[in-house]
Structure 1
């Protein structure tokens, strides 16, 4: 890659912000009067209304009984609830919040890219996120995946900011930025609990350039500190769960449900109505039922490990072959305003875009293949395999190939620019998560901003990405 610019172009950042906001606001203006909440969005909207009214995360049952709840993570309905309290409980308010956070993700990607490449490719990276049809068209969805994607992308931005402090050698500055990283990951964890893993991983990535005999121990210490602050953000909610749900839970009590859905020999790999085990039929407590489902799933996995592992390709296919989240949600919400043709067109455009972005990212890895002959050959063979699968039904193999090819980079991946390494970390974690639980196209959406940014960087890639490990301070 070319040497990084001395400072990111503020003008280009404004271009990215304007493009991202205008695209999303246009969609919101069209969607707000037409598409009411649906699917999980119905639940989030109702909980947010109760939060805005000061009733907390509680559920009103048809018979008038009110119970404390924690089935879904609190983060997204709490964010919506805050917006409802300020501006009124209308789905359009939540859509506007989604638009702002989505635009922030595009800015974060531009800032990440601007640290490593010249202004042109950095602008391309930001615009690929700003105008991503899958992300833009999903803005009206009162669902948590878009917000998760934005927060995780901002956490990667915080990791790059942390890396900026490494050459300064100022412990207090490093600690302060580690805290910021932990807090951002903590917020993402409240929206999607598995995001917690990014606290230590992003901290280790940020501190990879540390030098000296004790560098490894320092990096591990700072990774532990980032994780501690992420947990501290969640701690009040965890304490609430311990008190109100009769069982401690970090964020939510649906892990057992999700594990059991993905531990069914008849599974397609995607979501399906849960089959309640006999042992759980008389368990009515929300947290207790989830724990019972978790035990049933663990029992199946230990007794049928081969059958459970055989479901992994189906789960990954459900997550990465085709997203289609925007068309699905809009069609589900109002089939008259977004009919079958609308759903199909959105799906085709989005799929073509995502596979093009993935192809560019794979090509970038091939161009940046390690100098060692063996690893270079291996990298390019894996990339070639991934590109072949881009033209097949099962694109999940290409996503897996992206992670494997990147890992051949070894230390150069970690010590190179933060953006591609963060993309690989988020993609790898998403692959592992949904190999264990179950898949859905919308779950892959969290990877879209960083992979799109990685694709934009390909226009500046050279053979030795480690030359770009020097970072430019971001004036923003």
Structure 2
């Protein structure tokens, strides 16, 4: 091993490194929040208004009507923070800081679960701590940070304790909470369980089926009460939210670009569904059905056009990493040059993470092809899920947020391998035979 690699391993192996990573991660986020407070806008403003009403005991409503347009989980969590901290951004920012600390801890845990050594795990932790986009997200009241933390906790329980029924129940409960924050998470556990049968030789379909039953029953225990509430409040079976139709239509219509485009207040809205925009809350269930029907009809009539949009959606999902800076753009319109420099730095950092992660996944694929276990491949489960979701709906930059901590784990492992490459090749078993709770 080269002198630099040996020195790096000694320094990263010190006891003070992990606490320092948490100090660094929280310190950077606090510094940005204090130095550049952001004015709530768009989704964040909507969440805060709903949360303030919930904190006052008004329930989950909009414009005087019960709503389920967006999942209730994050507004409910915001409401609790407002109730505890008062009507300010202190509570929402505290939630984001707690989520950041949790994600950092889970990045370290994920790295160890999938076979990274301590150097790789701590490098991954460092990459997450200094990730510019996720630092900036701390100042906005959006669901990305908290929902990602909950999803990662469920992931760690399911993967790391996959043979313990009580852990599977806990994972299912957490996946249920994540679903009430991001409705698409309802589908993620099934895909993850399938991936687990691929990466481990001793994890059979029977094991996956048993785990699936336990996890999904626990998820149902969390989600079904909200479904019952929706039935009583809206008069229809709405498992989580009523925005699925609108989201599907964004990516399946004659004017679709593959991403978001402004059309809500245009004549197209009325033409497609025949419901005035002003009635969208009161008639949200009907609106959801009509948009779903319009989108499905267009897909059936133009399957080639819809499929052709897929690569564009995927490119829009992964090409850039700048959505975190929208709030800063609006709050500091005169800071264009500074924000441009930060955006460039973030984009370079982001592309480096993706390149390292792709290399790690490629090596893990090679290991699995040669008949060895390759749990590092599980770090691709969330990126793959985000990609498939974008293909079906739309590709928007912020939708890759929950995939990035997993990509960072793979990048940390790959970076550690590259550091050692000078004189001593890494043990290929670093990417195989990893994971707590494994018997092999």
Question: TM tier, shorter chain?
Answer: 0.7 to 0.9
Please tell me whether residue 122 in structure 1 is matched to residue 121 in structure 2: yes
Q: Secondary structure at the match of 2:432?
A: helix
Q: For each residue in 1:254-298, what CA deviation from the matched residue of structure 2 results, as whole angstroms up to 9, or x when unmatched?
A: 000011111123222211224325362247411111111110111
Alpha-carbon distance, 1:313 to partner:
2.1
Paired position in structure 2 for 1:416: 374
Give the distance between the partners of 1:102 and 1:235, measured in 2 at CA. Answer: 29
Q: For each residue in 1:125-171, what CA deviation from the matched residue of structure 2 results, as whole angstroms up to 9, or x when unmatched?
A: 111112111111111111122223222222222223314xx4xxxxx
Q: Secondary structure at the match of 1:269?
A: coil
Alpha-carbon distance, 1:12 to partner:
4.3
Paired position in structure 2 for 1:265: 254
Please tell me whether residue 250 in structure 1 is matched to residue 233 in structure 2: no
Q: Secondary structure at the match of 2:71?
A: coil
Task: Select 2:343's aligned residue among 344, 347, 350.
Answer: 347
Q: For each residue in 1:27-72, what CA deviation from the matched residue of structure 2 results, as whole angstroms up to 9, or x when unmatched?
A: 22224xx32210111100000101111111112x3xxxx1101111
Change (3 A) 1:467 1:442: closer
For structure 1, list consecutive stretches of 5 or more residues without a partner in the other structure.
1-7, 167-173, 372-407
Aligned length: 407
Question: Is contact 2:361-2:377 (8 Å) kept?
Answer: no
Paired position in structure 2 for 1:370: 366
Q: Secondary structure at the match of 1:351?
A: helix
Paired position in structure 1 for 2:5: none
Q: Secondary structure at the match of 1:139?
A: helix
Q: For each residue in 1:358-388, what CA deviation from the matched residue of structure 2 results, as whole angstroms up to 9, or x when unmatched?
A: 11122324444526xxxxxxxxxxxxxxxxx
Paired position in structure 2 for 1:452: 408
Paired position in structure 2 for 1:299: 297
Please tell me whether residue 335 in structure 1 is matched to residue 332 in structure 2: yes
Question: Is contact 1:269-1:438 (8 Å) kept?
Answer: yes
Q: For each residue in 1:297-340, what CA deviation from the matched residue of structure 2 results, as whole angstroms up to 9, or x when unmatched?
A: 111111111111121122122211112012112213x134x632
Question: Is contact 2:38-2:327 (8 Å) kept?
Answer: no
Task: Select 2:227's aligned residue among 238, 248, 257.
Answer: 238
Task: Select 2:97's aligned residue among 88, 99, 102.
Answer: 99
Q: For each residue in 1:410-469, what CA deviation from the matched residue of structure 2 results, as whole angstroms up to 9, or x when unmatched?
A: 974xx433xx33321111111111111112111111111110111001145547448731
Q: Secondary structure at the match of 2:161?
A: helix
Q: Secondary structure at the match of 2:337?
A: helix
Paired position in structure 1 for 2:384: 428
Paired position in structure 2 for 1:280: 273
Please tell me whether residue 28 in structure 1 is matched to residue 33 in structure 2: yes
Q: Secondary structure at the match of 1:56?
A: coil
For structure 2, list consecutive stretches of 5 or more residues without a partner in the other structure.
1-12, 418-425
Q: How does 1:136-215 map to 2 (within 5 A)?
A: 136-163=135-162, 166=163, 174-203=164-193, 209=200, 211=202, 215=204
Task: Select 2:207's aligned residue among 218, 225, 232.
Answer: 218
Give the distance between the partners of 1:242 and 1:218, measured in 2 at CA. Answer: 35
Give the distance between the partners of 1:27 and 1:82, measured in 2 at CA. Answer: 24
Alpha-carbon distance, 1:19 to partner:
2.1
Question: Is contact 2:364-2:377 (8 Å) kept?
Answer: no
Give the distance between the partners of 2:184 and 2:369, measured in 1 at CA. Answer: 26
Q: Secondary structure at the match of 1:263?
A: coil
Q: TM-score, normalised by structure 1?
A: 0.79
Q: Secondary structure at the match of 1:55?
A: coil
Q: For each residue in 1:158-195, what CA deviation from the matched residue of structure 2 results, as whole angstroms up to 9, or x when unmatched?
A: 223314xx4xxxxxxx1101011111111111111111
Give the distance between the partners of 1:113 and 1:216, measured in 2 at CA. Answer: 25
Give the distance between the partners of 2:364 and 2:213, measured in 1 at CA. Answer: 31
Change (3 A) 1:85 1:9: farther
Change (3 A) 1:55 1:216: same
Q: Secondary structure at the match of 2:65?
A: strand
Alpha-carbon distance, 1:209 to partner:
4.6
Q: Secondary structure at the match of 2:366?
A: coil
Give the distance between the partners of 2:101 and 2:181, measured in 1 at CA. Answer: 18
Give the distance between the partners of 1:411 and 1:325, measured in 2 at CA. Answer: 40
Question: Is contact 2:252-2:306 (8 Å) kept?
Answer: yes
Give the distance between the partners of 1:303 and 1:410, measured in 2 at CA. Answer: 44
Q: For each residue in 1:60-85, what CA deviation from the matched residue of structure 2 results, as whole angstroms up to 9, or x when unmatched?
A: x3xxxx11011111111111111111
Paired position in structure 1 for 2:355: 359
Give the distance between the partners of 2:14 and 2:384, measured in 1 at CA. Answer: 31
Question: Is contact 1:277-1:293 (8 Å) kept?
Answer: no
